[in-house]
């Protein structure tokens, strides 16, 4: 005869402690979590170069600069004197106006500089040719990136501006002649298509780089066999940034003198180039379009 023995039921004291707190891995602040890299697809391998001696200077060869400058040569650097825009606003305005002109990417920097990446250098140059541009109610200074560019608003000593030369003799309306004429004002950069093709002869429209340390040229003379007397060429500036004669830089003035807003260039109809800004939306337009 088999006798089954049933164990008595065991009882335990009631647990009154609070439930364990669940900690999300995202807020785990341990050192291991901080240095942990979970996704290897976001990493790019660097060259295993030995550590350099402390205090040594990093020397970069000219060949390396030229090799890595190609992708940046189609970039335009911009900044607005005395004003900083959020990335969202900059991206909205630039994309709406320049996306059809080859704009690929917009990036901003903490010090207020903006970088506009274009598909080709020619498309970027075409955008600059149609300047100067307004972002909102603010004029934006635009320059093509170059290896020696310094992202320091207090050291902007050279800027590109568009000028109009009145009274330029017709024999100078070619690449060499226009370059010579532009060099009387600044460093020659470009001219618009109507000037190059001699389709508008009232004035030659050129883009030059001016230097804050040099006096502003408002006219110059040409001596040639064309005339017994020097030919006077008048120089009009479509727009120039504020200039500080003390610091010899652009973008501010130690005298804090207010400069009038850029003049909107007009055509024969008297209407401003570039159209009107859309209501209730960020607006940007060129103060001059040839």
Each residue's pLDDT tens digit, 194-220 = 999 999 999 999 989 899 889 999 999
Instruction: Check: CB of residue 124 under 8 Å from CB of residue 139.
Output: no
**Residue 184 shares a structural domain with residue 240:** yes
**Higher pLDDT pick, 224 / 154:** 224
| pLDDT at res. 105 | 93
Domain assignment present for residue 221? The answer is yes
| pLDDT at res. 29 | 63
Instruction: Check: CB of residue 210 under 8 Å from CB of residue 158.
Output: yes
Domain assignment present for residue 110? The answer is yes
Q: What is the token pair recorded at 77?
A: 């650097």
Pick the last residue of a domain from 126, 146, 166.
Answer: 146
**Residue 134 shares a structural domain with residue 84:** yes
Domain assignment present for residue 11? The answer is no
CATH of the domain at 110: 3.30.70.330
Parent domain of 201: 156-250
Instruction: Assess whether the previous peptide bond of 132 is cis (omega < 30° from 0).
Output: yes
pLDDT in tens, 9-18: 555 556 566 6
**Residue 209 shares a structural domain with residue 231:** yes
Structural domains in the chain (count) = 2
Residues 204, 61: Cα–Cα separation, whole Å: 40
**Residue 184 shares a structural domain with residue 118:** no
Whether the pLDDT of residue 130 is over 90: the answer is no
């Amino acid at each position: 005869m088999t006798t089954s023995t049933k164990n008595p039921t065991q009882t335990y004291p009631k647990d009154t402690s609070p439930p364990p707190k669940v900690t999300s891995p995202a807020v785990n602040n341990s050192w291991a979590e901080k240095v942990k890299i979970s996704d290897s697809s976001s990493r790019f391998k660097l060259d295993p170069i030995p550590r350099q001696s402390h205090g040594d200077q990093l020397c970069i060869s000219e060949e390396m600069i030229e090799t890595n400058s190609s992708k940046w040569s189609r970039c335009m650097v911009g900044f607005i004197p005395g004003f900083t825009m959020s990335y969202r606003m900059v991206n909205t305005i630039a994309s709406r106006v320049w996306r059809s002109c080859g704009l690929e990417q917009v990036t901003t920097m903490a010090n207020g500089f903006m970088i506009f990446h274009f598909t080709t250098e020619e498309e970027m140059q075409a955008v600059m040719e149609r300047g100067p541009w307004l972002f909102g109610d603010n004029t934006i200074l635009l320059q093509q990136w170059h290896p020696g560019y310094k992202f320091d608003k207090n050291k902007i000593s050279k800027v590109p501006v568009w000028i109009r030369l009145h009274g330029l003799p017709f024999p100078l309306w070619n690449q060499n002649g226009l370059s010579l004429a532009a060099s009387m004002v600044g460093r020659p950069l470009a001219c618009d298509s109507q000037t190059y093709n001699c389709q508008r002869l009232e004035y030659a429209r050129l883009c030059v780089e001016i230097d804050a340390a040099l006096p502003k040229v408002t006219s110059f003379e040409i001596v040639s066999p064309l005339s017994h007397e020097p030919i006077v060429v008048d120089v009009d500036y479509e727009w120039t940034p504020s200039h500080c004669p003390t610091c010899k830089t652009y973008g501010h003035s130690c005298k804090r003198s207010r400069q009038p807003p850029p003049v909107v260039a007009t055509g024969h109809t008297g209407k401003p180039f570039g159209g009107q800004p859309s209501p209730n939306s960020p607006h940007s337009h060129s103060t001059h379009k040839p």
